[in-house]
Structure 1
Amino acid sequence: MLRLFLRTRALLRDAIKPAVEAVVGALVVGLLSATRYFDAERTANAFARITRTIGPYLSEHKIGRTNLTAAFPEKSADEIEAILRGVWENLGRVGAEFAHLDHIWDFDPDYPGRGRIELAPGTRELFDKLRTDGKGALIFASHLANWELPALAAPAYGMPSAVLFRRPNIAAADRAIQNMRAVNMGTMIATTADAPLRLAHALDDGVHVGMLVDQHFSRGVDVTFFGRKAKTNPLLARLARQIDAPIHGVRIIRLPGYRFRAELCDEVIPPRDASGKVDVQGTMQAVTSVIEGWVREHPEQWLWLHRRWR
């Protein structure tokens, strides 16, 4: 009897799932489309208030509190909650800003102080060097501030680029999101089985390849992040082992007044094994250590709401 009940429940779930996904997908598409008609800054402020209010009632809030308490044992409970409020606010702003990706990057090299984007010292010079050296490069980023923005910089100034991304599970939402990203994010490469080969070909062709590298990856290599072991995707290091390409990190820092600072870090030199080849685990540890430094500077801007440690 129990077996029949479980089988029936599974059949019902499988039958209902497409309809549920269609509804959710339609809501996502409708929300993104509607958001485009409103002022970006005001909408971001409104979304931030909503997520800050709703967030503490969601299960992800508990995950975030657990993560932060382990990462910053010296901080009080009130300090942890203050960081979490910032995390939820940032997440709301990212959601609102997503609908405006086609015009949110407004840095003008001739008038660097006019737009909402500013560059950290040395970033413009390093960017120009990468853009004109005729070689590909590996660019890593993390879920800090608005993590979609780094992918906008390269195409805006004629730098050939490709971005590795994970498709949403809901097809309708996937199509809407990709339509917005495709406007000015370079070549989009999904995390499918042929992604490593496509990325390697891109590097060979002088393309700058970007990817987020700060989430749990069950088949990944072990790294230490905030004093705890975590699994991370080794793809970036494996590409560096296969193709001679420099590794740089890029981050966005959210500033007051609906402004952002973009920073391109100096080259991360990968450690090598006894045979002279790039050490995959050591390289990913070096990259992870850079990201940890970023997060320590602005913990309220990182996405603590996922299970990074397992």
Structure 2
Amino acid sequence: MTRTAPSRPITLQMRLEAAFVRVLLALFRRIGPVRASNLGGWLCRTVGPRLPVSRVADANLRRSMPELDGSMRRAVIYDMWDNIGRNAGEFPHLATLPRNSGPGPGWDVVGEEHLVAQAARGGPTIFVSGHIGNWEMLPPAVARYGLPFSSFYRAPNNPLVDRVLCDLRDEAMGQPVPLFAKGARGARGALGHILRGGHLGMLVDQKMNDGVEARFFGQPAMTAGAMAAMALKLRCPVIPGYVERLGPARLRIHVLPPLDLPDGGNRIQDQMNLTQRVNDWLEGTIRQHPGSWLWLHRRWNVQLPNNMPKI
């Protein structure tokens, strides 16, 4: 990935943060993928539920899945933190996790025929997913089929940490790929990328204030509209996929067939219909395993109170 020099001065705190991240990732790499996954899961599920941000997750669950009682919500939040920690522990191993269908560490693919067909067909592709399971495994797995995709990306505030994480992502992909900043400038860069026949991956489950108001878990949710706009402009395939966690460092990539693109003659309505279709698919996938999704984002068009109750 092409990087520019950081525009902000490097502080001592940034250096200390980056040193901590490097030491932690080195430890994860040294102890192997399974133990790293277990250690990361233990650390996060021990600390995470006690952090104030978990109240955001609880409020999101209250609003989107009111059928869950308090103990059920706590179980989902516990599983969410466990998954976050396992993702961190597995991160330095993504480049070396083998493709296999056995019980040990590695990954396999359900629906690989859709990747094979798209690689043979050629041309631009948009992959859509969400922060489900170990979402970091999706790009390197798809790249193994000759479909390396670029992504939208929000860099960490610490540029030294950003460099460490980007190097690991490039290592997992086996090649550098361009990343696009969120916002209008990044959208223009992404459009140019797929106009040149490139592939683009988009995690479309976060709130986008300048997006379109679609429904998500039955409620208004500002959702990125760039995916639908680009797909309909180019009439290029939109392929949904997500990563299911089967165990420590044991992952399954699910790839669905390309979505049918609406063609009703009204561009704005077609974009909304495609956006809603993706939201509906994401919701159904999350409902199957709520603890595999990242509930920490302020996803819906509501202002959460500052004095949210403890969970």
- Normalization by structure 2: what TM-score? 0.86
Q: Distance in 1 between matches of 2:28 and 2:52?
A: 26
**Which segment is superposed worse, 192-201 or 20-29?**
192-201
Q: Deviations over 1:39-71 (max 9, x none)?
A: 111121112111111112101111111111222
1:171: which partner in 2?
159
Aligned-residue offset at 1:154: 2.6
- The percent of aligned pairs where both chains have the same amino acid is 29
CA gap of 1:134–1:63, structure 2 versus 1, over 3 A, is same
**Are the equivalent residues in 2 in contact too, given 1:203–1:245 (CA < 8 A)?**
no
**Are the equivalent residues in 2 in contact too, given 1:131–1:159 (CA < 8 A)?**
yes
Aligned-residue offset at 1:160: 4.2
1:225: which partner in 2?
216
1:283: which partner in 2?
274
Give 1:168's aligned amino acid.
Answer: P
Q: Indicate which of 217, 224, 231 corresponds to 1:240.
A: 231
Q: Distance in 1 between matches of 2:261 and 2:295?
A: 27
Aligned-residue offset at 1:306: 1.7
2:194: which partner in 1?
203
The answer to whether structure 1 residue 77 and structure 2 residue 65 are counterparts is no
**Are the equivalent residues in 2 in contact too, given 1:222–1:229 (CA < 8 A)?**
yes
Matches within 5 A, 1:24-63: 24-63=17-56
**Are the equivalent residues in 1 in contact too, given 2:126–2:199 (CA < 8 A)?**
yes
1:261: which partner in 2?
252
Larger RCO (CA under 8 A, 6+ residues apart): 2
Give 1:180's aligned amino acid.
Answer: L
Q: Indicate which of 234, 239, 242 corresponds to 1:251.
A: 242
1:161: which partner in 2?
149
Q: Distance in 1 between matches of 2:283 and 2:148?
A: 28
**Are the equivalent residues in 1 in contact too, given 2:29–2:36 (CA < 8 A)?**
no
Give 1:242's aligned amino acid.
Answer: K
The answer to whether structure 1 residue 137 and structure 2 residue 125 are counterparts is yes
Give 2:106's aligned amino acid.
Answer: R
SS of corresponding position for 1:135: coil
Aligned-residue offset at 1:280: 2.3
Q: Indicate which of 97, 101, 106 corresponds to 1:116.
A: 106
Give 1:133's aligned amino acid.
Answer: R
Q: Deviations over 1:65-94 (max 9, x none)?
A: 111122221122111111111011001101
**Are the equivalent residues in 1 in contact too, given 2:139–2:148 (CA < 8 A)?**
no
Q: Indicate which of 180, 188, 191 corresponds to 2:178.
A: 188
Aligned-residue offset at 1:216: 1.1
**Are the equivalent residues in 2 in contact too, given 1:156–1:184 (CA < 8 A)?**
no
CA gap of 1:16–1:180, structure 2 versus 1, over 3 A, is closer
Alignment coverage as a number of residue pairs? 290
Q: Deviations over 1:149-183 (max 9, x none)?
A: 11012322322432222211110000000111112
**Are the equivalent residues in 1 in contact too, given 2:86–2:248 (CA < 8 A)?**
no
Aligned-residue offset at 1:113: 4.5
Aligned-residue offset at 1:249: 0.6
CA gap of 1:17–1:133, structure 2 versus 1, over 3 A, is closer
- Normalization by structure 1: what TM-score? 0.86
Give 2:36's aligned amino acid.
Answer: T
1:19: which partner in 2?
12
**Which segment is superposed worse, 234-243 or 155-164?**
155-164
2:59: which partner in 1?
66
Q: Distance in 1 between matches of 2:10 and 2:117?
A: 49
The answer to whether structure 1 residue 298 and structure 2 residue 282 are counterparts is no
Q: Distance in 2 between matches of 1:278 and 1:129?
A: 29
**Are the equivalent residues in 2 in contact too, given 1:141–1:213 (CA < 8 A)?**
yes
**Are the equivalent residues in 2 in contact too, given 1:241–1:278 (CA < 8 A)?**
no
SS of corresponding position for 2:206: coil
**Are the equivalent residues in 1 in contact too, given 2:107–2:250 (CA < 8 A)?**
yes
Q: Distance in 1 between matches of 2:72 and 2:158?
A: 36
Q: Distance in 1 between matches of 2:295 and 2:144?
A: 30
**Are the equivalent residues in 2 in contact too, given 1:83–1:299 (CA < 8 A)?**
yes
Give 1:262's aligned amino acid.
Answer: I
1:103: which partner in 2?
96
RMSD: 2.3
Aligned-residue offset at 1:269: 2.2
For structure 2, the residue ranges without an aligned partner over 5 or more in a row are 1-7, 303-311
